[in-house]
Amino acid sequence: MVRIKNAVSEKPVLVTGATGYVGGRVALRLLTAGYKVRATARSLTKLQARAWAGHPNLELVYSDALDLDSLTKAADGCGAAYYFIHSMDAASKDYALSDRIAAQNMVKAAQSAQLERIIYLGGLSSDSPELSKHLKSREEVAAILEAGPVPVTHFRAAMILGSGSASFEMLRYLVERLPLMITSRRALTPSQPIAIRNVLVYLINSLELEETIGQTYDIGGPQILTYLEIIDIYAKEAGLRKRIVIPVSFITPRMASWIVHLVTPIPGNIAMPLAEGIGSNMIVQDGHRVVLVIPQKLLTCQEAIHMALERIEQKVIKSSWMDAGVSKPPEWGHYNDAPYAGGDIRESWHTITVKTSPEKLWAPISEIGGDRGWYFANWLWEIRGFIDRLAGGFGVRRGRRSPSDLGAGDALDWWRVLDAEPGKRLFLVAEMKAPGEATLEFRLKQNEDGTSELVQIASFMPRGVAGLAYWYLVYPFHFFIFKGMLKGIARAAGAEIVHGPVEIKPPKHKKNR
């Protein structure tokens, strides 16, 4: 085997889509192995919130794969690139087109930067005419990349088993919540699931081997299993009773996606390609040719699920399907500034003053949502979350990646963290289904007398009459919920209440120009 690590490591390795499930783990593995890494994403704030963001060998760069200039600048000076850009949103009619444009831009950027190679992770698929739209798009992306002048190492993976992956989370919630399942007969289709740990070994080690350049490898675990068999394995590893699964022919992928949407944190638009993929024959076609080049112990399905459950139990999830996506402030507000309260913006401000420091107040605020809940009237949040799920939103089932750590870009029930400054500010934007845009903010300030003030701000930009009606419908609940939340946060911090909680008038803001 001809190793080329020294030649490649002189230049940074480009990792696109570094906020995604696989991209984030690859970036960390590369840094641990001693590589210089240039990690890119559409949100630098999200990248900066990653645990590995302060590594001395890491460079964080903004890049949007649909913007050729930004992608070209990101690739300039790099030796090799990992391409982890793809869409998995069935709600978008143009996701295949977006993937096509992004791949074409990557080819141009790689050529301009004279990259030595591109490493791409696609889907393990067959030539079946029933191949899902998502897998067809992944194959098209591979074809576009391989048609360019820069050689590509293409890995085709089946279902990836690991804590935080969308496939695993869908499996986990379905098995744990449904002792009886009526599924599509597509669940009888065989596949070859692979552990995320094995995927990462292939991706990282291939960078060091010259013979992997320009090659396509099918990667899968050591077992060929149907989804029904995987369900049985999960139930056994999780200590659950054997699930009763009844395959029927009338359940379509769309019907299955809505069942997944209602039962699990996975929204229907992401569940759709996952449900379609279950019906695809994802079996290694090249006789595990890759193990001759990159030998490793392939984990069984039992071992992969056991490890994933241990990570979940230990609250150690390095990356999650929830990490992907763009988090940005609404256009009507300034990031890190007070939102403009004029025009149609509706706001509700409440404040409380307590005897403690902002740092101690921050602790319960940073743990809000998820299993902890919202410190008051959690049943109302559950009802609103259930309504959101019925409308196609995330609801509260998405939870949060960590019970205590909170950073920009993190998902938090139906919210997304835009800013998290310990002891100062938490700023959330809603990703729920509503006739308008909503934000929720917590501001902390220490007073001269040693007390601290906590201000909670709910802002809403209504869309049309329906938006206004929605605001006035929920507004009366703010008095009840927000005052209770502020008291609950004070109690959780062990702080004595000096004043409040009370509603206050929003300060007058200057109009945006």
Q: Is residue 368 part of a domain?
A: yes
Boundary residue ending a domain (283, 302, 319): 319
Q: Mark whether 315 and 358 lie in a shared domain.
A: no
Confidence (pLDDT) at 90: 45
Read off the CATH number of the domain in which 380 is found. Answer: 3.30.530.20
pLDDT in tens, 68-106: 999 999 999 999 999 998 865 544 557 788 889 999 999
Q: Mark whether 310 and 400 lie in a shared domain.
A: no
β-pairing verdict for 244-248 and 58-62: unpaired
Residue 296: which domain range?
5-319
Q: Is the model's pTM score more than 0.75?
A: no
d(CA 198, CA 158): 12
pLDDT at 268 over 90: no
How far out from the chain centre does Cα 170 lie?
Answer: 14
CA dihedral 154, 155, 156, 161 (to 10 degrees): -150
Q: Is residue 335 part of a domain?
A: no
- The three-state secondary structure class of 454 is strand
d(CA 33, CA 320): 22
Q: Mark whether 276 and 378 lie in a shared domain.
A: no
- Band (pLDDT 50/70/90 cuts) for residue 12 is very high
* Over residues 282-309, mean pLDDT: 89
Q: Mark whether 237 and 296 lie in a shared domain.
A: yes
pLDDT at 13 over 90: yes
Q: Mark whether 315 and 196 lie in a shared domain.
A: yes
Q: Are 308 and 163 in contact (CB under 8 A)?
A: yes
- Band (pLDDT 50/70/90 cuts) for residue 189 is confident
Q: Is residue 122 part of a domain?
A: yes
Q: Mark whether 367 and 462 lie in a shared domain.
A: yes
Q: Are 308 and 317 in contact (CB under 8 A)?
A: no
- Residue 138 Cα distances to 4, 125, 211, 350, 465, angstroms: 28, 9, 23, 48, 42
Q: Is residue 331 part of a domain?
A: no
Q: Mark whether 378 and 468 lie in a shared domain.
A: yes
Alpha helices in 223-367 (DSSP H): 227-237, 253-263, 268-278, 290-293, 301-313, 358-366
Q: How many CA atoms lie within 13 A of 211 on its CB side?
A: 8
Most confident of 71-75, 128-132, 266-270: 71-75
* Over residues 47-59, mean pLDDT: 84
Q: Mark whether 303 and 361 lie in a shared domain.
A: no
Confidence (pLDDT) at 327: 52
d(CA 106, CA 161): 28
d(CA 83, CA 60): 16
Q: Mark whether 74 and 187 lie in a shared domain.
A: yes
Q: Are 243 and 183 in contact (CB under 8 A)?
A: no
Q: Is residue 63 part of a domain?
A: yes
* Over residues 307-313, mean pLDDT: 80
Boundary residue ending a domain (272, 302, 319): 319
Confidence (pLDDT) at 340: 39
Q: Is residue 412 part of a domain?
A: yes
pLDDT at 343 over 50: no
Q: Is residue 324 part of a domain?
A: no
Q: How many helices and strands, by DSSP H and E, does the chain display?
A: 16, 20
Enter the tokens of residue 336.
């890190």
Q: Are 497 and 352 in contact (CB under 8 A)?
A: yes
Question: Other C-beta atoms within 10 Å of 252: how many?
Answer: 13
* Over residues 386-404, mean pLDDT: 77
Boundary residue ending a domain (319, 354, 387): 319
Confidence (pLDDT) at 120: 96
- Cβ neighbours of residue 114 under 8 Å, at least 6 residues apart? none
Structural domains counted in the chain: 2
pLDDT in tens, 464-506: 888 888 888 888 888 889 999 999 999 999 999 999 899 988 8
- Residue 433 Cα distances to 369, 388, 403, 445, angstroms: 18, 6, 25, 32
Task: Answer positive or negative: Cα dihedral of 242, 248, 253, 259.
Answer: negative
Q: Mark whether 93 and 216 lie in a shared domain.
A: yes
Confidence (pLDDT) at 512: 40
Higher-pLDDT residue of 109, 346: 109
pLDDT at 293 over 60: yes
- Cβ neighbours of residue 62 under 8 Å, at least 6 residues apart? 40, 41, 42, 44, 70, 74
Nearest CA to 35 out of 211, 207, 213 is that of: 207
Q: Mark whether 350 and 315 lie in a shared domain.
A: no
Q: Mark whether 286 and 242 lie in a shared domain.
A: yes
Percent of the chain with pLDDT over 70: 88
Confidence (pLDDT) at 406: 81
- Cβ neighbours of residue 57 under 8 Å, at least 6 residues apart? 31, 34, 35, 36, 37
Radius of gyration of the chain (CA): 24
Q: Is residue 513 part of a domain?
A: no
Confidence (pLDDT) at 289: 87
